[in-house]
Structure 1
């Protein structure tokens, strides 16, 4: 039975991946998470009695802890989700992003290199380090074109710059030391367990309370939306069959403007949570000053992942959004517990403007 060290496994994408892989494969998961505001044990509540899941609270920058976990559990692969990930927060406080995303990734890589070097035979050959990154490292697209694995990096926010730096470290540990790494760069994820600072869960929760739905600028910023479980399937497929040193882009083939996303949410909420006075939820839309340095458009070309590893998304934007809205409406207790008072839905990242 393979043992995975999953970092950031109490967060949004990491938590969904832990659930997915424990259901899909005969593996053990050692789940390392610092439990910052975006990492929540409530996401893992149904795994408390699962003998194949071990949770450890700790920092990926803690060299002694990471080395101990790799050795003690004879880890066969590291899947690195651990990251500060919200662009608006990176504008307000970039230091934490540098510490976690750059310094933390360096520590994971170097500990993994030492662990891998001590292995022998098939155990050494099977070891993998999978680094989960973002399409934001590529910068902003014009009205046409797609990001590919060879697109030049041009990060525009403290968050994307920190992720770009971590991607370069991963590449360097492969070319310099031979560590068998793979990197995935994904488009915007949505789905269950996403902390309500991000667009989709924030809009759902504000709409439930009858509060204005703040849309940056003219609402025309475009993202390629990827349902989180489709992303989890892609990560597992890359871990199984991806070639060491390679990069794989993961996209949902679902480009939408922010305004289109909010309108879709409003239509679903009109159906699933009708207003007592029968008012359409679109009446709650409110346009606010744009985010500083807001990239206009992202779009992923996932052809390589489909061609080489046979992956493609199963959910359409419409089906994934319906699943997402339904989950948030059916899980108010999770939302209430994670909104612990440190974040109450206020706008972040406005100071720079």
Structure 2
């Protein structure tokens, strides 16, 4: 059974149930029940019309749940009798679901979880495993999110920027458990790009493809992080790079620059360099300048300091870094790198150790600890 095809049908099925009168929370539960039934039945009895089959089963589950709840019996007057099985409407509610799941009343983590379930078709268990939290915790998070958006109508205007931020959060979770969230984010962003014509949607898709193209080279066989400059570029996915650059060029040609396009342009310059030494750092600095103008983000300024250090030397990078708050995440790691390049291994080792203590994950902590140990061992020789 094609699991990707099955999950791809979810937005359309959910939209049909809501249009027939089901509230969002109840419809989403019914669709999840239908997906479970599909996994059980389809391998032996594949349906001729998979979407129609899911709609029929999900609608039956919704009606059963409605009729079983005495406090909601009046809803039966609204939903009426079960429709006869047959062709389902061609209307695509995918775009509406994206916007609904990025409802302003939701926290980013709740919006991500709801998007993965309602648009991505993942089960609560799969989402919980991906985020390394108990299934009950994730179930409560999703339940609260569904209740928060239950009253939003089909005509609710959407916010593309919020939807893109949710998808980028999904992508940055990468991979854990039995769900590859990076690949899932790319699939969902492709779906969004097919539904809405917006250069920033294309920019995000290009950015994801360009970052994902380097995935195989990012870790050593023992799981250790491999910095960009040390990666085996022969392991990069050239097909994904070419696709990402093509999508980016088409978006930039529309002259409506946004932050995801600028980020993708930086990623494209890294991907296009045959070796680390041939990276066009001056142009990367120019793109970071654009990104600072667009976002004003201190994190962007931090990354810009690294680029300045590569383009104009470590002293220039340290000068750019001096303008930023030392409390910024990864500030000590950037300072350590620039200090080492400037010929100060003692300060660099101290800063690497400080950065390791602040690292957000085990892999990054181990990498920074090894950098500090490398410099300390060099001093002892």
**With structure 1 as the length reference, what TM-score do the two structures score?**
0.29
Look at both structures and tell me which one has the larger radius of gyration over its CA atoms: 2
More strand by share: 1
Larger RCO, structures 1/2 (Cα 8 Å, 6+ apart): 1
